[in-house]
């Protein structure tokens, strides 16, 4: 069982690259953003709570997010590996993921970081907003999400570096080249 965290700022291409890796390796994929958007679509209690944070560019509180992650992970078929996309986003989430996997006899095996300059992220998210219909892909919320990324999520780079799990790749250029770089890391580890 391989547990891989795909890491990067909003707009860094985590979802796109996860989809390509899933296709190539047959891994399961947990996108916490997708899980929350499905809850919003179904108008559940959780969806209503999540919407207030998401529309404001803020993170869902750690305790709630960790419970959602564990439930989603336990419901997966877990054939050969899992890609965690959009989780963890804070140090308490990374610690909780480590504990959660340890209690299940496994661990995170790699953190793949997509490096993309901020001005490129803003441009990508603005463009995505024109087609995605995502309420949080507007200029004001994008700026908030990037600020939240820098203060709450970016510290995870050093955290995973200290764990000896961090592998950074250039997250811009041709999609296939980025994916090849990610696959090279994965193939080198397993
Ligand atoms: P994403 O699709 O990964 O960009 O996530 C969209 C939004 O969902 C984020 O801006 C957060 O509000 C929320 N979200 C997704 N994953 C998490 C997480 N791990 N912790 C807290 N909030 C999250």
Catalytic residue, chosen from 51, 104, 134, 144, is 134
Question: What are 87's two structure tokens?
Answer: 């989780």
Q: Is residue 93 part of a domain?
A: yes
Q: Is residue 110 part of a domain?
A: yes
Q: Which of 66, 86, 95, 114 to mutate to test the pocket of ligand 1 (most atoms within 8 A of CB)?
A: 86
Annotated catalytic residue 134 = yes
DSSP 103-126: HTT----EEEEEE--HHHHHHHHH
Count the Cβ atoms, other than its own, within 10 Å of residue 141: 20
Residue 78 has pLDDT above 90, yes or no: no
Any atom of ligand 1 within 6 Å of the Cβ of 86: yes
Q: By residue range, what is the domain housing residue 133?
A: 2-184
- Tens digit of each residue's pLDDT (9 = 90 or more) over 99-123: 999 999 999 999 999 999 999 999 9
For ligand 1, atom 15, name the residue with the nearest CA.
Answer: 33
Cα–Cα distance, 173 to 87 (Å, whole number): 24
Using the mean position of ligand 1's atoms as its centre, give its distance from the Cα of residue 5 in Å: 14
Annotated catalytic residue 128 = yes
Count the Cβ atoms, other than its own, within 10 Å of residue 46: 17
- CATH code (residue 147): 3.40.50.300
- Tens digit of each residue's pLDDT (9 = 90 or more) over 135-147: 899 999 999 999 9
DSSP 131-144: HH--TT-SHHHHHH
Q: Note the pTM of the prediction, 2 decimals.
A: 0.97
Burial environment of residue 174 by CB neighbours within 10 A (0 to 12, 13 to 18, 19 or more): exposed
Any atom of ligand 1 within 6 Å of the Cβ of 59: yes
Q: Is residue 190 part of a domain?
A: no
Using the mean position of ligand 1's atoms as its centre, give its distance from the Cα of residue 187 in Å: 28
Any atom of ligand 1 within 6 Å of the Cβ of 89: yes
- Tens digit of each residue's pLDDT (9 = 90 or more) over 148-179: 999 999 999 999 999 999 999 999 999 999 99
- Tens digit of each residue's pLDDT (9 = 90 or more) over 23-56: 999 999 999 999 999 999 999 999 999 999 999 9
**pLDDT recorded at residue 1:** 86
Q: Is residue 189 part of a domain?
A: no
Please check whether residue 144 is in contact with residue 58, taking contact to mean a CB–CB distance below 8 angstroms: yes
- Kindly list the distances between the CA atom of residue 71 and the CA atoms of 35, 74, 188, in Å, as whole numbers in the listed order: 11, 5, 30
- Kindly list the distances between the CA atom of residue 117 and the CA atoms of 10, 15, 78, 120, in Å, as whole numbers in the listed order: 11, 17, 34, 5
Average pLDDT over residues 58-73: 97
Query: What total of structural domains would you count in the chain?
Result: 1
Q: Is residue 102 part of a domain?
A: yes
66-75, 125-134, 157-166: segment of lowest average pLDDT: 125-134
Please check whether residue 95 is in contact with residue 38, taking contact to mean a CB–CB distance below 8 angstroms: no
């Amino acid at each position: 069982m391989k547990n891989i965290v795909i890491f990067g700022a909003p707009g860094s291409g985590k979802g796109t690259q996860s989809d390509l890796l899933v296709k190539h390796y047959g891994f399961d994929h947990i996108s916490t953003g997708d899980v929350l958007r499905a809850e919003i679509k179904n108008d559940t209690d959780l969806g209503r709570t999540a919407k207030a944070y998401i529309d404001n560019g803020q993170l869902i509180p750690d305790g709630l997010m960790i419970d959602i992650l564990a439930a989603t992970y336990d419901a997966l078929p877990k054939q050969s590996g899992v890609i965690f996309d959009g989780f963890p986003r804070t140090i308490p989430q990374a610690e909780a993921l480590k504990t959660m996997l340890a209690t299940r006899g496994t661990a995170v095996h790699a953190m793949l970081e997509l490096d993309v300059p901020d001005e490129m992220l803003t441009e990508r998210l603005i463009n995505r907003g024109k087609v995605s219909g995502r309420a949080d892909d507007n200029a004001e919320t994008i700026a908030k999400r990037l600020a939240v990324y820098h203060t709450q999520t970016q510290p995870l780079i050093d955290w995973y570096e200290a764990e000896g799990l961090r592998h950074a790749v250039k997250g811009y250029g041709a999609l296939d080249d980025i994916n090849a770089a990610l696959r090279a890391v994965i193939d080198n580890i397993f």
